[in-house]
Structure 1
Amino acid sequence: MTEVTYYTREGLEKLKEELHLLKTEGRSQISKAIAEARDKGDLSENAEYDAAKEAQGHHESKISKLTNVLANARLIDESKLDSTKVLALSIVKIKNVNNGATMTYQLVSESEADLKSGRISVKSPIAQGLLGKSVGDKAEIAVPAGKIEFEIIEITR
């Protein structure tokens, strides 16, 4: 059974763009590599041809996986989400109760996660500990360094 994944508009567009590139430019490059290898002679002892065919198999597998992801992708209408609770796509400002440090994260799908830009996966331990909570709530979250208590300061979209 395939898992439904929720995406932002930008994340979904990025996936569609990647699939389009794989189907057009990617396939074109691989077919050229196969043709060049084929022109070099005997296919039974042509390592370059074998490598190009193997690359084609990997490429088609990637296209298949991405097509499957897109088939099960759902766009989240942010305007209809409850902003009083932490949900997917919420932008959450949290404070570490122990040291007073504040952080802001947006909870996104796994494929959109990018810690440098403040986007964490909804499946990450921090996001899992925050989901469903409201402003003022505290969450004790198990991280590799141990358990940390966070207080939710603000929830936006």
Structure 2
Amino acid sequence: MADEVILTQEGFDKLEAERDQLVSVRRKEVSERLKEAISYGDLSENAEYDAAKNEQAELEERIAKLEQMIRNARVISDEEVSGDVVNVGLTVKVKDQDTGDVEEYTIVGSTEADPFAEPAKISSDSEVGRSLLGKKVGDKVEVSVPDGLLHYVVEDIVR
């Protein structure tokens, strides 16, 4: 069996929307480009044809990957997640004990991670995400990262 993909409902919906867009819109666009390139004649020296075939292969590969992720998805529902411990789908506010900085992270499955989102979406498989899972408000967390050790205190957990 393929690996389980942990997702929030939002992440699952985004995967389905991307797949649906690729299947219903992009496939037709690529097919039209392919037909147009074939109409140019000699396929042995037809750069447009080669480009369209490559684009079609990449598109089909992405669709297959999305469909596999959707099949293997485990959507974390609100009922599964209590707000008193850090879990996938929740936002956690932590204070860095060394610098005093306060950071906010939303814990998500690895396919949804986006460190540039506000608040940052970090994977439950990352060092920080894995270290925070299961912690409660007031818990101290030590996280080993490439730059050294981070010392956090969990300040708040929000749905």
User: TM above 0.5, one fold?
Assistant: yes
- The worse-fitting range, judged by mean Cα deviation, of 130-139 and 18-27 is 130-139
Q: Which residue of 1 aligns with 2:20?
A: 20
Q: Which residue of 2 aligns with 1:126?
A: 128
Alpha carbon RMSD of aligned pairs, Å? 1.3
The 5 A counterparts of 1:100-115 are 100-115=100-115
Q: In structure 2, what is the Cα distance between the partners aligned to 1:93 and 1:51?
A: 47
Q: In structure 2, what is the Cα distance between the partners aligned to 1:99 and 1:52?
A: 52
Q: TM-score, normalised by structure 2?
A: 0.92
Give 1:137 shift: 1.1
The 5 A counterparts of 1:82-101 are 82-101=82-101
Which runs of 4 or more aligned residues in structure 1 lie more than 6 Å from their structure 2 counterparts after TM superposition? none
Q: TM-score, normalised by structure 1?
A: 0.93
Give 1:53 shift: 1.1
Q: In structure 2, what is the Cα distance between the partners aligned to 1:70 and 1:58?
A: 18
Any gaps of 5 or more consecutive residues in structure 2? none
Residue by residue over 1:27-71, the C-alpha shift from the partner in whole angstroms, topping out at 9 and shown as x without a partner, is 111111111111111122222212211211111111101100010
Residue by residue over 1:92-143, the C-alpha shift from the partner in whole angstroms, topping out at 9 and shown as x without a partner, is 1111111211111110112222223221111111111111211111111012
Q: In structure 1, what is the Cα distance between the partners aligned to 2:72 and 2:110?
A: 14
Q: In structure 1, what is the Cα distance between the partners aligned to 2:28 and 2:137?
A: 52
Any gaps of 5 or more consecutive residues in structure 1? none
Matched positions, count: 157
Q: In structure 1, what is the Cα distance between the partners aligned to 2:93 and 2:62?
A: 36
Percent of aligned pairs sharing the same letter = 39
